[in-house]
Structure 1
Amino acid sequence: MTAVAAAPRRATHAPAFRLSFAHLLKSEFVKILTLHSTWWSLGVTAALSIGISLLIAAASRDFGGSFPAANVIVSPTQFTMLVAGILGAIVITGEYSTGMIRSTLTAEPRRGAVLLAKAVVVALVMAATTVVIYAVAIAVTAPLLTSGFDWSDPAQSLVPLVLGVVSMAAFTLIGLGFGFLIRSGAGAIAATVGVLFVLPIVFSLFSFGGPSWQWLVDGAKYLPVNAAALLTAPGGDELATGGITLAAWALAPLVLGWVALRARDA
């Protein structure tokens, strides 16, 4: 009896699975929204913003009728910007500290896509949170204001609020860029705080230096916090300067972070 050898099976290989950008965005949303640090950061941002807005609204009766209502809502940005920047930094440095970045880059080898997805997600999360914060702050400060929002004049109402949302998203991207570039949580936070908080103080000190140092004082308006102030000033006439400056500050660390991400191993 002759045994018939079975014909060898041809090896079949499943096509390589490529993670779509939509799936990458979804995974980044899941990661950021399941972190306790994210909710703590957003909670602190909300508490600071609404609390400071209430204090300013209560004191605005003594400021006279010329104090715009929009300033009551956007003024806390000079404090909450730090929390936004730190959130952006820890979103990525946390992955480096735990080693999760290796799993992320294994699932999606296109490193530029990973950086872009994280940038989109953190910016959207911060922007959505800021919208909610502004809505609550407008509602709770309304009884304290002598003159409320004039919604018929967008330059005095809607435009500063929208640009305040954009500014908070930009601060988050600055922190994210430093996170990709430096990788260390402490280092990225230090760089973010330095750019957003320390540099304005340093530049302002030169106002005592006389006319020879005025160029440095004038250059302070090109720092992120002052650019945001130009953007969110009701009826401001330097929106282009503020917008270009803030966009440059948000993009520069991200571009440098992208270069570092491509050049170095995870």
Structure 2
Amino acid sequence: MTTLTAPRRTTYTDATAGPTFLRTLRSELLKLTTLRSTWWSLGIAAALSLAIAALYVSASDGGYPILGVLLSAQFTMLVAGVLGAIAITGEYATGMIRSTLTANPRRAQVALAKSLAIALLVGAATAVSSLLSLAVTVPISSTAVTWSDPTQAVLPLMLGVLAMIAYALIGTGFGLLIRNGAGAIAATVGVLFVAPIAVNLFALGGTSWQWVVDLGRYLPVAAGSDLTAIPTGDILQPALTLLAWVVALVGSGILVLRRRDA
């Protein structure tokens, strides 16, 4: 007599089994792009970028369009950071993080896939909004863009995209560490927005607080401003500063994810 057996199911019982990284990345991109909060965030960032760039060029009597695009990052960085935070904490709020880790128990892989998905989406959105801002501001500006000199146009724009990705990943790192939406957003806003204001207040205190001002150069926003300065100068120090923030926060978040229950 022939014995019928049920088909074998593929299960992942340890941290060494699970889907490939590319499959995990596709899954994270799908989740990000199907959330309304993602498109609201990207839409607000694009609108701010267009409005601020156009306002700068109009108010400065034909200001340099590239500078207008880069100046808008002082505001859109908060949107990028918040998006990075809620992309992580949203799963903890709904409990979906448990389903994610059940489907793929490789926690470090999941965290890296989430981070890369956020980086790709924010980078693409920043590049598109920058091009749209230029399309609006170049025709109304009396200052021609110096495309022939990479340090005056192309390079600052490319570095601006990288800086925006770094801001988003800083929010991602806080999301992985704190796991609470309000807490992660507060920490992100504190580092990206409040801390530079506090440093500027210390600068009013004279030379006795100069060490605080010097440390302020290593804040993400200060590093981003130095990185995208026109003409582009020494990019090594600000680039390493942003990289250190991202690696420290995301790396710490991955360690927390691996050691704590979801």
Query: For this structure pair, what is the TM-score category when the shorter chain's length is used for normalisation?
Result: over 0.9
Shift of 1:106: 0.3
Aligned residues: 257
Check whether the contact 1:159–1:234 (CA below 8 A) recurs between aligned residues. no
Provide, for residues 217-236 of structure 1, a one-character-per-residue CA deviation record: whole Å limited to 9, x for no partner: 12211100110000111123
Conserved? CA contact 2:53–2:65, under 8 Å: no
Q: Tell me whether 1:175 sits opposite 2:171 in the alignment.
A: yes
Q: What stretches of structure 1 of length at least 5 have no aligned partner?
A: 1-5
8 A Cα contact 1:179 1:185, kept in partner: yes
Q: Which amino acid aligns with 2:52?
A: I
**1:114 matched residue in structure 2:** 110
Report the structure number with the largest CA radius of gyration.
Answer: 1
- Report the aligned-residue RMSD: 1.6
| Matching residue within 211, 231, 237 for 2:227 | 231
Counterpart in the other structure of 1:53? 53
Q: After TM superposition, which residue ranges in structure 1, 4 or more long, deviate above 3 angstroms?
A: 6-18
Q: Is the 8 A contact 2:65 2:137 kept in 1?
A: no
Look up the SS of the partner of 1:152 in the other structure: coil
The residue that corresponds to 2:39 in the other structure is 39
Q: 1:246 aligns with which of 236, 242, 245?
A: 242
Is 1:103 aligned to 2:99, yes or no?
Answer: yes
Q: Using the alignment, how far apart are the partners of 1:9 and 1:34 within structure 2?
A: 41
Paired with 2:101 and 2:229, the residues of 1 have a C-alpha distance of 41
Which residue pairs with 2:190 in the alignment?
Answer: 194
Q: Distance in 2 between matches of 1:97 and 1:48?
A: 28
One-letter amino acid matched to 1:212: S
- Asked whether the 8 Å contact 2:57–2:64 carries over to 1, the reply is no
**Residue pair 1:231, 1:242 contacting (<8 A) in 2 also:** yes
TM-score (norm 2): 0.94
> What is the 5 A alignment of 1:129-140?
129-140=125-136
Counterpart position of 2:23: 23
Distance 1:31 1:158 in 2: 32
Percentage of identical aligned residues:
51
Unaligned ranges ≥5, structure 2? 13-17
Structure 1 residue 238, shift from structure 2 partner:
2.9
Which amino acid is the alignment partner of residue 138 of structure 1? L
In the alignment, what sits opposite 1:218?
214
Structure 2 match to 1:3: none
Hey, what's the Cα distance between the residues in 2 that align with 1:15 and 1:123? 31
Q: Aligned in 2, Cα 1:12/1:127: closer, same or farther, shift over 3 Å?
A: closer
Amino acid across the alignment from 1:239: I
Q: CA deviation at 1:73?
A: 1.0
Q: 1:14 Cα shift?
A: 5.0
Which residue in 2 is equivalent to 1:153? 149
How far off is 1:13 after superposition? 4.1
The SS at the match of 1:112 is helix
